[in-house]
Structure 1
Amino acid sequence: MPEFARFQDEPLQMRSGTVGKTGFLRLGLEHRCGQTILAKLERRSPYMVQRALHCDEAMPGLAYVFLITTTGCVLQGDRLALDITLGPHAQAHLTSQSATKIHAMDANYAAQSQSITLADHAYLEFLPDPVIPHRHSRFLSDTQITIAPSATLLLSEIVQPGRKHHHPDERFGATVLSISNSAVRPDGRVLFAEKLVIEPQRYAMRQTGVMDSFDVFANVILCAPKDKAERIHERAGAEVKLTEGLAFGACRLPNDAGLIFKVLGRETAQVKAKVREFWGIVRKEVVGHPLPPPYLWR
């Protein structure tokens, strides 16, 4: 990636990508006897998954999987890989145990690659907690999706401006964030590709067309069959509420791939609430069930 060309120096503590700096997690979920089970699990620290839970009364066959990182943060030189595969008719909800914190860096950068594959009629909600880039952090995220025409993927990324209540320089203090997403059909046909490069020290974040007066950004991708995506689009709407510090809207992805839903807010709670509202619409339209009540600590 050209935006990381100037960050090839190695950390003094430990070289990038060496043992202790690489982690991977491979999850294979399959539909068996009316439930989705965790049929395959391979991992290397700091990634960890304990088991699939079936805790949704409306969808008892839905597997809930919590992604755990034993280090609690992402450091310079880290190289992380996540591989998720859902078999035919499998249904799963994946989330993280907490926010992803990208620590300050004085050498190299951190990177994660994510591969998501959904077979016929599979259904995946991948809704991790927000990314919090600390001051002087450098983070590369690349997500590659392979999805069957009858499958549905709801993928959410929420990016905070940093630890804005910790220090004034933390707000948009990251050096570079590069976030890319792409999707193809199983036969290799390209559906779409999107890339966001955020460099607050090079380009003003407070200008119109970027973040303006907002602090938190959510990028939600919905890959779904065209008829379902159209019904969701009609219900999602679009609005700018400057007095409330919130703006949101949905638009269609190319090649009948689905929708992309974006949210801007001044506080994380506002953005998460709007993403949850969109998630509720998706679940109702795709599988015909409502969301469970939110947990008290959410």
Structure 2
Amino acid sequence: MVSTLKIEVEERDGESFLRDAYVTQPFRIMPVGQYKSDGASYLMIMSSSPGILSGDVYDIQVNVKEKARLQLQSQSYQRLFNMDGSASQIMNVKMEKGTSFSYVPHPVVPHEDSTFKSHNKIYIEDDCDLTISEIITCGRKHHGETFKYAHFQNLLEVFHHDRLVLKDNVLLRPDIMPLAAMGLLEGFTHQGTFVYLNTKDDDLEDRIEYFFKELEGLENVSFGISKLEANGFVIRILGHGGEQMFDFFRKVQDVLWEEKAVIQI
């Protein structure tokens, strides 16, 4: 089943709001920031389906109009059910000048024999800042399905003035890849990636140092933080729990988001 979600967020007099929305089953879009006072738009992607099924194709399109700020949220863990075939998701985000877009979704839980491919393409203009993350678990560990999924891939591409400035490709094939080996998961069961990029020429050195010290406080993880050639950084974490990573990524998101709120105000 092909499922579509299209949203457009606009700014007027310092307030960002949902200008237009179009959804098909099983999607719903819900405002969740009614009590926020920073002028940003907070929207949650909701679904009436318990997860992604074989044959599902998710098409998500987000347009953030000039000077608007959008924080997109997920409803819960994303389950990828047992599949005879495969499922896929495409997310296209267009960020006009002076916009902010942040999306830190819950972890993905691939069930046995699931095959899933995701492609995120983000087009960013000047004076923008982007936050996006992903957490992939080993599957239903307590059901004996550790690394029993068939194929998981998430490709992220970010374009600035139609020039590719960031490409990140996570590909996991437990049947042919020694996931416990050096250079892969090295005995860990969960992997998290957090990307921050801006086109405002902000100096990020202090923030990178701050988040590195915060990462040192996490237990039973291996991590790294790298500055991008474009103005941004990537945090990668290997661990044994999705909730731990998700909570940390939300904290990083909050710090970056609140900084921008202060600047906007």
Q: TM-score, normalised by structure 1?
A: 0.82
Residues 243-262 of structure 1: per-residue CA shift (max 9 Å, x gap): 931122221222x2421111
Residues 157-189 of structure 1: per-residue CA shift (max 9 Å, x gap): 111111111x22x1111100011000111x312
Cα pair distance change 1:182/1:38, threshold 3 Å? same
Q: Secondary structure at the match of 2:179?
A: coil
Pairing 1:22-101 to 2, within 5 Å after superposition: 22-51=2-31, 53-57=33-37, 59=38, 61-101=39-79
The Cα shift of 1:127 comes to 1.4
Q: Tell me the equivalent position of 1:230.
A: 205
CA distance in 2: counterparts of 1:138 and 1:31, whole angstroms:
39
Cα pair distance change 1:241/1:202, threshold 3 Å? farther
Structure 2: 5+ residue stretches without partners: none
Q: Secondary structure at the match of 1:105?
A: coil
Q: Tell me the equivalent position of 2:219.
A: 244
CA distance in 2: counterparts of 1:287 and 1:238, whole angstroms:
23
Residues 222-254 of structure 1: per-residue CA shift (max 9 Å, x gap): 121332433422322179879931122221222
Q: Which one has a larger percent strand, Structure 1 or Structure 2?
A: 2
CA distance in 2: counterparts of 1:100 and 1:122, whole angstroms:
27
- RMSD, matched Cα: 2.1
CA distance in 2: counterparts of 1:172 and 1:76, whole angstroms:
18
Q: Tell me the equivalent position of 2:248.
A: 274
CA distance in 2: counterparts of 1:228 and 1:272, whole angstroms:
26
CA distance in 1: counterparts of 2:31 and 2:215, whole angstroms:
41
Q: TM-score, normalised by structure 2?
A: 0.91
Residues 242-289 of structure 1: per-residue CA shift (max 9 Å, x gap): 9931122221222x2421111221112221222123223322443338
Greater Cα shift, 108-117 or 41-50 = 41-50
Q: Tell me the equivalent position of 1:103.
A: 81
CA distance in 2: counterparts of 1:93 and 1:278, whole angstroms:
14
CA distance in 2: counterparts of 1:151 and 1:139, whole angstroms:
30
Residues 100 and 128 in structure 2, CA contact (< 8 A), matched pair in contact too: yes
Q: Secondary structure at the match of 1:288?
A: helix
The Cα shift of 1:35 comes to 1.3
Q: Tell me the equivalent position of 1:156.
A: 133
Residues 122-165 of structure 1: per-residue CA shift (max 9 Å, x gap): 11111111111001100000000101131011101111111111
Cα pair distance change 1:280/1:239, threshold 3 Å? closer
CA distance in 1: counterparts of 2:218 and 2:21, whole angstroms:
47
Q: Tell me the equivalent position of 2:147.
A: 172
Q: Tell me the equivalent position of 1:16.
A: none
Q: Tell me the equivalent position of 2:157.
A: 182
Structure 1: 5+ residue stretches without partners: 1-20, 290-298
Pairing 1:5-24 to 2, within 5 Å after superposition: 21-24=1-4
- Which one-letter code corresponds to 2:209 in the other structure? E
Q: Secondary structure at the match of 1:275?
A: helix
Residue 239 of structure 2: which of 256, 265, 275 is its match? 265
CA distance in 2: counterparts of 1:233 and 1:175, whole angstroms:
35
Residue 216 of structure 1: which of 170, 190, 210 is its match? 190
Cα pair distance change 1:137/1:242, threshold 3 Å? farther
Residue 253 of structure 1: which of 228, 233, 242 is its match? 228
CA distance in 2: counterparts of 1:113 and 1:66, whole angstroms:
17
Q: Tell me the equivalent position of 1:206.
A: 180
Q: Tell me the equivalent position of 1:123.
A: 100
% identity of equivalent residues: 23
**Number of aligned pairs?**
262
CA distance in 1: counterparts of 2:219 and 2:168, whole angstroms:
29
CA distance in 2: counterparts of 1:242 and 1:52, whole angstroms:
30
Cα pair distance change 1:71/1:240, threshold 3 Å? closer
- Which one-letter code corresponds to 2:94 in the other structure? T
CA distance in 2: counterparts of 1:110 and 1:74, whole angstroms:
7
Q: Secondary structure at the match of 2:204?
A: helix
Cα pair distance change 1:239/1:276, threshold 3 Å? closer
Residues 24 and 81 in structure 1, CA contact (< 8 A), matched pair in contact too: yes
- Which one-letter code corresponds to 1:55 in the other structure? Y
Residues 187-238 of structure 1: per-residue CA shift (max 9 Å, x gap): 3122121211100111121122211222111111112133243342232217
Following TM superposition, where does structure 1 have runs of at least 4 consecutive aligned residues deviating by more than 4 angstroms?
238-243
Cα pair distance change 1:159/1:195, threshold 3 Å? same
